[in-house]
Chains A and B, each alone.
Chain A
Amino acid sequence: MPQQTRRQIFEARQRKRANTIAAISTIAVFAAIILLIPLTPGWENVKRSFFNGAVFAKTFPGLLEAFVMDVAIFLWCAPLIAALGLAVAIARDLRNPAFYPLRLFAIAYTDIFRGLPVILVIYLIGFGIPGLGLPRPWNSPYIWGSLALVLVYSAYVAEVIRSGIESIHDSQRNAALSLGLSGGDAMRFVILPQAVRRVVPANMNLFIALQKDVALLSFIGPVEIFRQAGVYKSLMANFTPYVGAALIFLALTIPATRYADYLMNKQSKARS
């Protein structure tokens, strides 16, 4: 083993010290939580209402089954959001004056849908448009609720992609144009591939948020996991099903969040 330098010895000692402190303080905090909370006077009641083993066992399979609906809604919304978000981002960047109305529309669209609470859009579109008198199956809350999610999330995705487009230096566009490529080709082959790649982590965070907001569709009828948990809660006068639902969400969103963070870190390292 090669001789350690003075710097390495010093740093190893520092690291050891930091790890010890971190371990001790972590143990202390967890011990306090585990030991002290059960001592509070209301703990037994809270445990019965929120962490009820019997209720959990009874409702968890039903919750898992309902979660399939969340995943399905997510799966058909996500590609539509990616496509519409991209289209709006490009529309906002159109320089040809003939497309000015389209550009104006794209700006208004992103402003409006980023400015509205998701639940409001779901109500307005989910109940409002079918209320115009559409025949079945075209008045389905699945269609219009999903459309509401697509509209809101596309606005966010469009903004993220646009920020990506703007982060690509103009010299790239100039290089493409100087080769005789059209503006459209420069966007399609040179700017967009780089821009989209650059905003993958930011978009992943949006899609994680989408996975959670799918639950909002329950307000207009679909019985997905959040609604199913509510039904169980109501029938058993117990909040444990919500905890079960939370665990199911976390099982999906925590790995996804960590992965997005990993990508983000990797990217910021690559650029520095």
Chain B
Amino acid sequence: MADLVLENVQKAFGDNPVIRGIDLTISQGDMVCLIGASGSGKSTLLRCMNLLEPIDDGRILLDGDDISEPGKDPQPVRQRIGMVFQSYNLFPHMTALDNAILAPRRITGKSKSVLRPEIEEMFARFGLADRMLHYPDQLSGGQQQRVAIIRALAMRPEIMLFDEITSALDPELVGEVLDVLRDLRAQGMTMVLATHEMGFARELADKVCFLDQGRILEDGTPEQIFESPQEERTKAFLSRVL
């Protein structure tokens, strides 16, 4: 069971408020898409959920536990909430396989040979069996991003956060990464995506949130948001991107 609940989350960088009171509930098996213009706070909100950014005020509850309590060790939380970044951020000095095995090896203390079959299976599942022993700079962007997803999944997280993971990709490579997400969706993974792929959000999301200036201006089912948005700013945004 993994429910993630955000209550009045606030975050500022210096004097510049980025998240200005967000309430959001993500239930087990949900796929929530965050849409909005650049700078609207999507990425920051994801980083707050993963505790890469400490929040200033409000609370984040994971299965009822306040994980945002100042001074609390973020490490166990991050093991339960995986994250994938726009620019992949693979470790360039390790093979794809070692990228994926590092965290489970360090955290479970199991040896590489014990962990390897399970990770190999994931590589096979995402069509990368023959790329396992390559270094990141020997892989295409789409392959690198899929390795990054495998790396996050290797920790068996309960929730996955995806931060515009197709934005840095050449258009012809976007499809292969989105296929991975479809696969995860089909398995019931709880996911939060910041994305510009409106078609994808419309196709798969349970809930779409439109972020504007650090607030959720409007949320609802894909049909509600994409077909009959209520707010002027939502309409303006959608008319620009669709």
**In the complex, are the beta carbons of B103 and A193 less than 8 A apart?**
no
Cβ–Cβ contact B91 & A175, under 8 A: yes
Residues on B with beta carbons closer than 8 Å to the beta carbon of A180: 75-76, 78-80, 103, 107, 155
Min CB distance B187 to A, Å, is 20
Size of chain A's interface in residues, with CB distance under 8 A? Answer: 17
**A179 contacts B152, CB within 8 Å?**
yes
A194-B92 contact given A171-B87, A178-B83, CB 8 Å threshold: yes
- Which one of A178, A181, A194, A197 contacts B107 once the chains associate, using CB atoms below 8 Å? A181
- A86 to chain B minimum Cβ distance, whole angstroms, is 16
A215 CA to B83 CA, complexed, in Å: 54
- Would you call A182 an interface residue if the criterion is a C-beta within 8 Å of the partner chain's C-beta atoms? yes
A177 adjacent to chain B (CB < 8 Å): yes
Query: Interface of chain B, helix or strand or loop or mixed?
Result: mixed
* Residue A111 is within 8 A (CB to CB) of chain B in the complex: no
The reply to whether A182 and B75 contact each other, CB–CB distance below 8 Å, is yes
Q: Please encode chain A, from 160 to 196, with 1 for each CB lying within 8 Å of some chain B CB and 0 for all others.
A: 0000000000011011111111100100011001100
> Which one of B82, B87, B92, B103 lies within 8 Å of A181 (CB-CB)?
B103
A179 contacts B52, C-beta separation under 8 Å: no
Binary CB contact string for chain B from 74 to 114 against chain A (1 if under 8 A, 0 otherwise) = 11101110110101011111000000001100110000000
| B152: A residues at CB distance < 8 A | 178-179
Interface majority SS on A: helix, strand, loop or mixed?
helix
Query: Which partner residue on chain A sits nearest B84 by CB separation?
Result: A178
* Size bracket, chain B contacts: 20 to 34
Answer yes or no: B42 CB below 8 A from chain A CBs: no
Q: Quick check: A179 and B102 within 8 Å, CB to CB?
A: yes
Q: B151, A179: Cβ atoms under 8 Å?
A: yes
* CB-contact partner of B52 in A172, A174, A189, A197, under 8 A: A174
Pairs A–B under 8 Å by Cβ, sample size 27: A171-B85, A171-B89, A174-B52, A174-B85, A175-B85, A175-B91, A178-B50, A178-B82, A179-B79, A179-B82, A179-B103, A179-B155, A180-B75, A180-B76, A180-B79, A180-B107, A181-B75, A181-B103, A181-B106, A181-B107, A182-B75, A182-B106, A185-B106, A189-B91, A189-B106, A194-B91, A197-B93
**Given A179-B103, A181-B103, A193-B93, 13 additional A-B pairs, CB 8 A:** A171-B87, A172-B89, A172-B91, A175-B89, A175-B90, A176-B91, A177-B74, A179-B79, A179-B151, A180-B155, A181-B102, A189-B102, A190-B102
Binding site for B on A (CB under 8 A): 171-172, 174-182, 185, 189-190, 193-194, 197
